């Protein structure tokens, strides 16, 4: 979602003024994506700033992103990972579309994070399973999931397996423009988003909190 849930244009502008200055490559990516017909798939500017802050706060060095689109959130994450870990930083970026990710690649290069971003094209479930077979189970510091919503319950389990103890996973769009609060809405995406929230709440392996940033972010910390 390109702006945060229920924020007026005036508040969006105010947040842009008081948050840190946007990296030039992030700005270029955001401006280019604003012309894209699916611009609403991009995270908001304030959400990207929040994600970068969380990377630095937790000292994350290695992360996975599920759903890259044109690269805005990946750039924000990769820049923060680079600040923390330098050349040891790594972002495994999973997406099914070369059409979208081809738009991201020039921005990765201009941001100087193309050596950090390991872009992998294919179904997310398979990509996450492959990371586990490569020996990454229990090693990643952070995950960001912003892909097909019906896949969230499956991605939850696979991401949790990749995270180290104390690692943090972020699931995007969990408020779904308010539709999750409407009991009559039985669309598969809405049902899946409710399900992943319920799973996280009941899961003794994690601590979870949902916040109204962007279109809603479910934050899950692996105990």
CATH number of the CATH domain containing 176 = 3.40.50.150
CB 43 within 8 A of CB 72: yes
In a domain, 1, yes or no: no
User: Can you tell me the mean pLDDT for 68-78?
Assistant: 97
In a domain, 2, yes or no: no
Helix boundaries (H) for the chain: 9-18, 24-33, 45-58, 72-85, 98-111, 124-131, 152-162, 188-202
Residue 117, pLDDT score: 98
pLDDT tier, 1 (very low <50, low <70, confident <90, very high otherwise) = very low
CB 165 within 8 A of CB 205: no
pLDDT tier, 19 (very low <50, low <70, confident <90, very high otherwise) = confident
Containing domain of residue 122, as a range?
9-222
Total domains present in the chain: 1
- Give the whole-number percent of the chain exceeding pLDDT 70: 97
Q: How many Å apart are CA 157 and CA 191, to the nearest integer? A: 17
Residue 49, pLDDT score: 93
CB 121 within 8 A of CB 101: yes
pTM of the model: 0.93
- Mean of all residue pLDDT scores within the chain: 95
In a domain, 72, yes or no: yes
In a domain, 67, yes or no: yes
């Amino acid at each position: 979602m390109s702006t945060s849930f229920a924020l007026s244009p005036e508040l969006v502008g105010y947040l842009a003024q008081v948050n840190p200055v946007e990296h030039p490559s992030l700005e270029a990516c955001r401006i280019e994506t604003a012309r894209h017909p699916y611009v609403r798939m991009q995270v908001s500017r304030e959400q990207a700033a929040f994600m970068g802050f969380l990377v630095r706060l937790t000292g994350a060095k290695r992360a996975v992103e599920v759903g890259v689109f044109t690269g805005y959130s990946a750039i924000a994450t990769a820049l923060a990972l680079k600040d923390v870990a330098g050349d040891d930083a790594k972002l495994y970026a999973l997406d099914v579309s070369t059409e979208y990710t081809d738009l991201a690649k020039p921005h990765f290069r201009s941001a100087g994070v193309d050596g950090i971003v390991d872009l992998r094209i294919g179904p997310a479930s398979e990509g996450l399973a492959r990371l586990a077979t490569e020996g990454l189970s229990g090693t990643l510091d952070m995950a960001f999931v912003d892909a097909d919503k019906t896949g969230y319950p499956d991605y939850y389990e696979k991401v949790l397996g990749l995270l180290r103890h104390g690692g943090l996973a972020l699931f995007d769009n969990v408020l779904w423009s308010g539709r999750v609060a409407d009991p009559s809405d039985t669309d598969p995406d809405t049902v899946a988003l409710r399900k992943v929230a319920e799973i996280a709440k009941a899961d003794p392996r994690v601590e979870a909190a949902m916040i109204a940033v962007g279109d809603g972010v479910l934050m899950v910390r692996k105990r």
